[in-house]
Amino acid sequence: MSQKRSEEEWQAVLSPEQFKILRKKGTEMPNTGEYNKFKGKGVYCCAGCGTPLYTSDTKFDSGCGWPAFFDAIPNAINRHEDLSMGMKRVEITCAACDGHLGHVFQGEGWKHTPADERHCVNSVSIKFTPEEEEKKE
């Protein structure tokens, strides 16, 4: 489901920091995001539109200073070539609202990840939803 809005509409629903990162492709400072070292069980959704993006089962501690995941929920993100910063990178965005999430890095030698990928995501771009507790009978 597409979540297309005007710049003014995004500014009305996002905090200034969320707008800078999600809509203007900014980056939060390393080791400052609330989900960098967070270990809760649940789902990480887009902070802009609420689309589920990652599960806690794919999150790992990469030491990079941002939340890291080795895979996204199928069809939740799009990948784009990013030639900014004088290098070739792969930007990741929310498939529903096109909000900037961060970048994917491949071939870094992550032996415990199935695809040897690190999705380096800004905490500001995501919102955690905890797993529902098992229903007691």
What are the tens digits of pLDDT across the range 25-78? 999 999 999 999 999 999 999 999 999 999 999 999 999 999 999 999 999 999
Q: Which residues are CB-neighbours of 99 under 8 A, at least 6 positions away?
A: 22, 23, 46, 47, 48, 49, 93, 125
What are the tens digits of pLDDT across the range 90-133? 999 999 999 999 999 988 988 878 888 999 999 999 999 998 75
How many residues are present in the chain?
137
The answer to whether residue 1 sits within a structural domain is: no
The answer to whether residue 17 sits within a structural domain is: no
Give the whole-angstrom CA distance, residue 44 versus residue 42: 7
**CATH number of 71's domain:** 2.170.150.20
The answer to whether residue 93 sits within a structural domain is: yes
Q: For residues 15-30, give the mean pLDDT.
A: 96
Q: Which residues constitute the domain of residue 71?
A: 29-130
What is the value of pTM for the model shown?
0.90
> Which of 45, 46, 97, 120 does the annotation list as catalytic?
120
- Is 45 one of the catalytic residues? no
The answer to whether residue 37 sits within a structural domain is: yes
What values do phi and psi take at 12, rounded to 5? -75, -25
Give the whole-angstrom CA distance, residue 10 versus residue 66: 24
Q: Which residues are CB-neighbours of 11 under 8 A, at least 6 positions away?
A: 19
**Total number of domains constituting the chain:** 1
